[in-house]
Structure 1
């Protein structure tokens, strides 16, 4: 199974990107350029041997880049959280590719990339995504060099200049109060994801408690009834500790949930996979104990439909 989107879904599609897109708290802004009414082009396909097919978008042109200090952070990991949040913000993807699929050297030099040292691009390790919602287009380029990770986000459109990308870990508005009233099946049908409530792990441990856990039993019933439905179990942590350590821990926790579903609750392993996001997709503010507790969770994400 391929995880095409581990969807970090909230309930509101805000009119401006400021409410939709947050970056890891260790992202350091390296470059910013705002040009009103410049417009630009939005790639819609990979390098075709002569050019990059694209569409024209009118409006403001806002270009930013960030450096992410974290050993071992891949371009795919940097892109993953951005992709999820854009899906939540109801952006339609035009192009989502990795270096070779995009067109390697030719693609990279056919698009507008912020110059070094503000933005560094490893031609063997970069990811690109373009998407559009109404009159707002967005281009995302991520890469990994030996020293750090890099992220470039370009916004083009009538509302681009009003959008502010946040690097804080503020709560996602309205998350708990509305979703908690819905069944897991209803959340998956409506939002594509659901938090598995009530799971218990020891701090720093990946071992799932003895249970029973009502949310797992509910999910197991759904998956057994719909054997062609495929999901990803996605672990999340608070911000204590290193990113790499938290990604590994969160994936182990998701794996522990998968084992419980398969071994004790009769769900086919072919329907599930386990992934980890570490602290890259917080639900709440990590500065409070309540926020850190909310951020330590396992979510279930639809990765394919069963018709």
Structure 2
């Protein structure tokens, strides 16, 4: 592990120094900004029934973003950073990853710095919310990883009257900042174009059924917006299942679920049918182990895949 510039281990004796964290070799600070006297809304718990409980904290906020190359898994970053926060005197009230957090709905509730500075992969992110009971300082730690790099954002909101370090000056500009397209507010389009595929995390089906629940679903709204803004692009909706049951049965079920999502997308957003296809691959492309219920739930999904014009 490497201590970032200007940080010494003894700093962790003070809870305020939790703004300074130890990150793996290769981390670059690419954003450092301070907002005075703001009201920030931070996730307080996992998403439930499509809603994310939040808490409003007031004070001075410092936002910092690091880019890590090569990429590290979200789980390994949480395992490294959570103990540092405890040592600094913070008590975590929420620690979660992707679908455990609540997927797409939770991602929208995170107060992240706009891409391309902070990139949040909708299928690979994590969050730690913590509070210093002594000072009332609250922090939100957002972690995400892409194929090429990982991103860490630390936002700390400190009550008025407690000194907060001011940003030292402009941080290093990401090399791709001038080339990246202007992102939409949710970051959906940026992530979709970058990765070529995106999981529609907030979709819900009845167990063993292809019946899509009533919604609304933020991911479908974002996908419809992408298709309207990019009239030359097409997508394939790909259904996935867990590994329980027969291959043929899972293939059929995963395709019916993808078709149900296609029908909802076309009917609610008035999109032309030739721009959206549907197919299913059953359990042949898992993203987690099928040995646990958590893994099986993660594998039951519908993904939007971008097709070349």
User: Structure 2-normalised TM-score?
Assistant: 0.46
Give the structure with higher Rg (CA): 2
User: Structure 1-normalised TM-score?
Assistant: 0.46
Higher RCO, 1 or 2 (CA under 8 Å, sep at least 6)? 1
